[in-house]
């Protein structure tokens, strides 16, 4: 697909990030205007995932399509070398095809794009990991068409403030915006519709899900300046024991990982139109709340020789959501993906993620009006 991005840069504030040792860095975040042409279409026919829109669909020029994936780690060269021979191997052509056709393509980046040699973590301790990927890997994601990467997560500072700054700089150099900086609202023009995006996680270094008052203020400000507000949240415990959505604070190795249900619903209450979750490394249920879509976790998307692919950690997806210029959800679906043993995503003809989500939805939201059919389409049932 031919991507044409016209970026009008302006400063909307100074974003300060301070490292746990008291080291501070300042970053002026750029906000852009993106324009795209749909020279290629998503090859949904081969996967038998028909693109069916409701009868009351708005004019296509009055809509945007957002596609989102979960956690992304494109291999690491620290503390040992775990990278593919060629970086293009990380995203097979079949998967790339399904990432096309979006006005905004989003992912959660959980590595550092830096050559800085010193990690901020002691990886000799159990369950402590630091990931570092070559800076030129940013071009891989630009070639695929990613527009925004979340960097508010527990691996963004694996190589301290220098590694973090390098990651932001290297993504910006190939036209990819970064999301989740403290007090940041990222404004975009997608298909001539003003869109605001805000990223949250569980650490005060970034926008915190545990500071609801500050979060609500950001969403209110965004809603006053954009037609559509998208919230990204890195929240919840991790692993196959963390599949369920609970209305309670979750903990992982003693660390407060927030209350995903309370946070997501509060963001919708304040004006958010779409909430995208990631971090648990497994898929979680999908909810329609007040007519808005909440995807509680998209799971792992790419974890070359870094992330577990056992059981449900290997279940993944591409979430597609079409909204009109008022933020109303018109259509959404799950494109099922499965990670191979190396952590490389493959389109899943067995639809395992779809089956898992249908099961989780029945367990976590049995009375909710959202259903997922066998083709992965998210159907809002008529409750009248």
Q: Is the pLDDT at 300 greater than 50, yes or no?
A: yes
Give me 266's structure tokens.
């509060």
| pLDDT tens column, 243-280 | 999 999 999 999 999 999 999 999 999 999 999 999 99
Nearest to 299 by CA among 108, 126, 26: 108
**Residues in the chain, how many?**
384
For the chain, what are the domain ranges? 3-50+59-380
Whether the CB-CB separation of 229 and 223 falls below 8 Å is answered with yes
| pLDDT tens column, 138-188 | 999 999 999 999 999 999 999 999 999 999 999 999 999 999 999 999 999
Q: Is the pLDDT at 383 greater than 50, yes or no?
A: no
pLDDT band at 382 (very low <50, low <70, confident <90, very high): low
Q: Is the pLDDT at 193 greater than 50, yes or no?
A: yes
Nearest to 199 by CA among 153, 165, 141: 153
Region for residue 175 given its phi and psi (left: phi exceeds 0; alpha: psi -120 to 50; beta: otherwise): left
DSSP string, 5-32: ----------EEEE-TTS-EEEE-----
Give me 144's structure tokens.
């695929």
Angle at 224 between CA 222 and CA 227, to 5 degrees: 80
Please state, rounded to an integer, the average pLDDT across all residues of the chain. 87
| pLDDT tens column, 123-134 | 988 889 999 999
CA distance 145 to 69: 13
pLDDT for res 140? 98
**% of the chain at pLDDT higher than 70:** 84
CA distance 164 to 119: 11
Q: What is the DSSP letter of 278?
A: E
Q: Is the pLDDT at 111 greater than 90, yes or no?
A: yes
CA distance 229 to 231: 7
The predicted model scores a pTM of 0.85
Q: Which fold has domain 3-50+59-380?
A: Purple Acid Phosphatase; chain A, domain 2 (3.60.21)
Q: Is the pLDDT at 17 greater than 60, yes or no?
A: no
End-to-end CA distance of the chain: 42
| pLDDT tens column, 208-238 | 999 999 999 999 999 999 999 999 999 999 9
Residues near 98 by Cβ (< 8 Å), separated by ≥ 6? Answer: 42, 43, 44, 47, 318, 335, 347
Query: How far, in whole angstroms, is CA 329 from its chain's centroid?
Result: 18
pLDDT for res 60? 74
CA distance 287 to 285: 7
């Amino acid at each position: 697909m031919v991507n044409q991005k016209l970026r009008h840069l302006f400063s909307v504030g100074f974003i300060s990030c301070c490292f746990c040792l008291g080291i501070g860095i300042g970053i002026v975040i750029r906000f852009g205007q993106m324009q795209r042409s749909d020279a290629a279409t998503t090859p949904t026919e081969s996967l038998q995932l028909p693109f069916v829109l409701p009868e009351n669909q708005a004019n296509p020029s009055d809509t945007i399509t957002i596609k989102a994936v979960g956690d992304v780690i494109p291999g690491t060269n620290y503390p040992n070398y775990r990278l593919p021979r060629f970086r293009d191997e990380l995203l097979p052509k079949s998967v790339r095809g399904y990432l096309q056709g979006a006005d905004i393509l989003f992912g959660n980046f959980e590595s550092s794009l830096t050559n800085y040699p010193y990690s901020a973590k002691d990886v000799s301790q159990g369950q402590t990991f630091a990931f570092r990927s070559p800076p030129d890997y940013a071009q891989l994601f630009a070639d695929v068409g990613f527009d925004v990467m979340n960097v508010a997560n527990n691996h963004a500072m694996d190589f301290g403030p220098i590694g973090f700054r390098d990651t932001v700089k290297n993504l910006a150099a190939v036209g990819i915006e970064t999301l989740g900086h403290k007090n940041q609202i990222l404004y975009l023009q997608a298909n001539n519709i003003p869109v605001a995006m805000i990223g949250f996680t569980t650490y005060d270094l970034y926008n915190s899900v545990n500071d609801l008052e500050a979060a609500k203020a950001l969403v209110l400000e965004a809603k006053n300046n954009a037609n559509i507000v998208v919230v990204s949240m890195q929240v919840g415990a991790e692993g196959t024991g963390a599949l369920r959505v609970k209305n309670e604070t979750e903990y992982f190795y003693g660390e407060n990982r927030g209350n995903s249900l309370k946070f997501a619903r509060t963001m919708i209450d304040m004006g958010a139109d779409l909430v995208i979750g990631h971090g648990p490394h497994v898929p979680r249920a999908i909810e329609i709340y007040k007519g808005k879509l909440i995807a509680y976790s998209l799971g792992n998307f790419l974890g070359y020789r870094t992330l577990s692919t056992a059981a449900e950690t290997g279940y993944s997806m591409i979430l597609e959501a079409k909204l009109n210029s008022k933020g109303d959800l018109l259509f959404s679906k799950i494109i099922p993906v499965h990670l191979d043993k190396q952590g490389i995503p493959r389109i899943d003809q067995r639809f395992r993620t779809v089956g898992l989500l249908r099961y989780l939805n029945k367990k976590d939201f049995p009375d909710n009006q959202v259903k997922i059919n066998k083709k992965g389409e998210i159907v809002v049932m008529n409750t009248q």
